[in-house]
Amino acid sequence: MKRILLAAAGLLSLVGVAHASTLDEVKARGALNCGVSQGLPGFSSPNDKNEWTGFDVDFCRAVAAAIFNDPTKVKFTPLSAKDRFTALTSGAIDLLSRNTTWTMSRDTTLGFNFAGVTYYDGQGFLVRKSLGLKGSKELEGASICVQTGTSNELNVGDYFRANNMKYREVIAFATLDETVKAYESGRCDVFTSDKSQLAAVRLKLTNPADHVLLPETISKEPLGPLVRHGDDQWFDLVKWTYFALLDAEELGVTSKNVGEMVNSANPEVKRLLGTDGKYGEGIGLTADWVVRIVKATGNYGEIYDRNVGPSTPLGIERGLNNLWNHGGIQYGMPVR
Amino acid sequence: MTSETIFVSSTFREPEPPPVSDRGPVRWVRAHLLGTVPQVLLTLFGLWLLYVVVPPLVQFFLVDAVWSGTNRTACLPADVGHPVGACWPFIWAKINQLIYGFYPAGERWRVNVVYALGALLLLPLVLQQVPYKRLNAIAFFGVYPVVAFVLLTGGNFQLRHFLLGYLGFDALFPRVAPGVSVSWVFWTDYVLSSVLLAALAGGIARVVAGPDAVRGAVRTVATIMVPLALVLLAVDVNFGLEPVETRLWGGLLVTLVIAVSGITVSLPFGILLALGRRSSVPLVKICSILFIEFWRGVPVITVLFFATYMLPLFLPDGMTIDGLLRALVGVALFASAYMAEVVRGGLQAIPKGQYEGAMAVGLRYGPMMRLVVLPQALKLVIPGIVNNFIGLFKDTTLVLIVSIFDLLGAMRAAFTDPNWATPTTLFTGFGFAGLIYFVFCFGMSRYSMALEKRLDRAQRH
């Protein structure tokens, strides 16, 4: 049923949406329509001042800053996991920045393009410290709590089979909160989910210090923003906003020093900030587009540290999300 | 002969009070709690249940609760040093979110005015002793929605055309320099259209029913067009209020807007549909049945989803319908269909003699229904009607799936703030939301019981 609806929506969108360029529409509207999660700690959630905050939210703000020089010109549409693709197909949003895993089927059959991997996530295990486990290879005979209907449920089965291990049972629950409660009450030894979620879940446990994340990551969950097929300029704009955030971090351009960095003699910085060349015009913007982005949201590292980094309650280490020259795999394509 | 003194009391003696064991609370307890063996057992069971439920709740929500703080560390047992119950500072921090959603902080007074005005008008309406019920009803059902609408959205809709404009006569109207607070094009159009409509109605009436009917027809048009003009004027005038998109509404505001408009729309529409379904005119009957069965047969979530994500694909380009409005219409149509069946139950319970009696004294269909049948039928189904209202109030939370954050949606979003993630945040939030829902639903339920009692005097046994 969902498939048929999506297909119908896709067909209709070919007729209905593919004329005016998305950038022109966004400019005419005066705001970017961005789809985010209805609430995911560290990625999108309303803060005490009623503003949307989070990693995915900041990416929307970066795109808005590139276009309007104003990170507040975003209209956030909070979407549930099952409505997110329909909303993008129907044109209700211009950009979906909602912890969506880049998979082949989503990229090819749904009519979307992933603009990059803003966050490399992966499935991990949360266990009680008292069990004294060193790694997930020692999970033989464990009972495992997992949220039903997620890819986590499939991954954990695959992982045990691939490593010739047996679990006692996998107990699946309908909602995250139920799963957490079951884990905490001792129904199972292990709670498995994406690592970013495990970090959030740990905060809700009575004694977070009694629980520990196992080091292994058993699945690839590359999360990134996506756009509709059919408007390559818009795709480029979103993609290069992501690269610009990485390049800015790599070149040491931060929200604090961007005013001085404009005068830098480093040719790479000059190209990035538009004092040399007019690379921004290639995506329909002006040369100083990166200055606007970094002023508004900071570079990739600043966004990471502010929302999910070690100094936040979530306290997630950079890991894979570190820059390529710092042991991670985040790699911004060069501006030239 | 000795005289015997006979004592004759000239007054009645006051009766002795019943023995202690048979009066006051003692008697009540013996009669109701300890009368028979099963009663004793049930009483013990009840006491045990209270013992199991109440102390932990008090312990959690009051004794162990944390009352102040600025972030999650205030509610962590490790930092507080004792087991932590409810984390109330979480609610204080999120209270604006829960009441107003993303409504801009500087404009929240408008929501407050709407809340206050609603309470001020509703209270005298439900209290039996207060006079001027008719005036009050007009104020609440006629004026208040318009005022609330203008206050909440900001009004100033800059209407462009009325009938003639849509028919292509737009060029006829003078263009007045911008800066004028109402749109002259629209109002010239409106006045001309009204005059034309009145003339048309008068003309038809004259042909069909003779010259005497002209005046009545014109008056009918006027009674529709004049109030409509007032409503449109209120929406059109620029009061200098900042426009606030419905996308930014949320929390209790959305819950109340949807519930109140659903309730006030569903009752009259439900009555009409119920009458339609029992009508002897086949077309009316079939239409009513189709409408009712369609809306009862489709899940509300499907309709909300379809209206939000699929409808825009079918609409002409550039045409959008406000998201909240779509949800409102969907909910109102649903509630009407359900209400129709409740009212129909009441209509069927009225004996045929009532209809025949009303006809025998010469009442036509309208007055018969209004004066004889409906008052009795509606009185019978008050529990059913209020049941529907309460259900509707709680169903409003389904709008979460179309990205409208009602009270519960705002609460769920607040749970995801990592700065407030603690073991007890969830229970505190749901406890608070439950309390708010309970206050409203219990209020409705008590009012309906009071109403039943008041209207039921003639039949009380």
Q: Identify the residue whose tokens are 């019978």.
A: B380
B38-42: average pLDDT: 93
Contacts of residue B207, Cβ cutoff 8 Å, sequence gap at least 6: none
* Span B424-450, pLDDT tens digits: 899 999 999 999 999 999 999 999 888
**What pLDDT does residue B205 have?**
86
Q: Which residues of B touch A77 (CB under 8 A)?
A: 247, 403
Nearest beta carbon to residue B417 from set A47, A83, A87: A47
Q: Which residues of A touch B244 (CB under 8 A)?
A: none
Residue from B149, B383, B391 nearest B263 by CA: B391
Q: Which residues of B touch A86 (CB under 8 A)?
A: 309-310
Burial (CB count <10 Å: 0-12, 13-18, 19+), residue B315 = exposed
Nearest beta carbon to residue B313 from set A12, A42, A313: A12
With beta carbons less than 8 A apart as the criterion, state whether B279 and B434 touch. no
Q: Which residues of A touch B401 (CB under 8 A)?
A: 80, 83
Q: Is the pLDDT of residue B90 over 80?
A: yes
Q: Is the pLDDT of residue B461 over 80?
A: no
The overall pTM is greater than 0.95: no
Buried b (16+ CB within 10 A) or exposed e, B92-120: ebbebbbbbbbbeeebeebbeebeebbee
Using CA atoms, how far apart are residues A157 and A163, in angstroms rounded to an integer?
10
Task: Provide the CB-side half-sphere exposure for B237 (13 A, CA).
Answer: 11
Q: Closest residue of A to B104, CA-based?
A: A50
Q: Do B105 and A50 touch (CB under 8 A)?
A: yes
Q: Is the pLDDT of residue B339 over 90?
A: yes
Using CA atoms, how far apart are residues B136 and B120, in angstroms rounded to an integer?
10
Which of the four pLDDT bands, split at 50, 70 and 90, describes residue A232?
A: very high
A148-173: average pLDDT: 88
Q: Closest residue of A to B95, CA-based?
A: A48
Nearest beta carbon to residue A200 from set B94, B421, B423: B421
Residue B310 contacts A, CB cutoff 8 Å = yes
Using CA atoms, how far apart are residues B219 and B217, in angstroms rounded to an integer?
5
Report the range out of A57-61, A77-81, B407-411 with the highest average pLDDT. A57-61
B336-352: average pLDDT: 94
Which of the four pLDDT bands, split at 50, 70 and 90, describes residue B318?
A: low
Orientation angle between helical segments B425-455 and B88-100, nearest 10 degrees? 60
Residue B212 contacts A, CB cutoff 8 Å = no
Query: What is the secondary structure of A277-320 as a DSSP string?
Result: S-GGGGGTS-TTHHHHHHHHH--HHHHHHHHTSTTSSS----GG
Q: Per mean pLDDT, which range of A99-108, B21-30, B163-172 is the poorest?
A: B163-172
Q: Do B403 and A79 touch (CB under 8 A)?
A: yes
**What pLDDT does residue B271 have?**
94
* Span A51-76, pLDDT tens digits: 999 999 999 999 999 999 999 999 99
**What pLDDT does residue A177 have?**
82
* Span B353-400, pLDDT tens digits: 999 999 999 999 989 999 999 999 998 899 999 999 999 998 888 888
* Span B9-21, pLDDT tens digits: 888 888 888 887 7
Helix, coil or strand: residue A227 = strand
Q: Closest residue of B to A309, CA-based?
A: B418
Q: Is the pLDDT of residue B280 over 50?
A: yes
ipTM: 0.83
A185-203: average pLDDT: 90
Which of the four pLDDT bands, split at 50, 70 and 90, describes residue B100?
A: very high
**What pLDDT does residue B340 have?**
95
Query: What's chain A's average pLDDT?
Result: 89
Q: Closest residue of B to A41, CA-based?
A: B416
Using CA atoms, how far apart are residues B171 and B42, in angstroms rounded to an integer?
81
Q: Which residues of A touch B414 (CB under 8 A)?
A: 39, 45-46
With beta carbons less than 8 A apart as the criterion, state whether B407 and B251 touch. yes
Structure tokens at A209: 């210090």
* Span A257-314, pLDDT tens digits: 999 999 999 999 999 999 999 999 999 999 999 999 999 999 999 999 999 999 999 9
**What pLDDT does residue A12 have?**
46
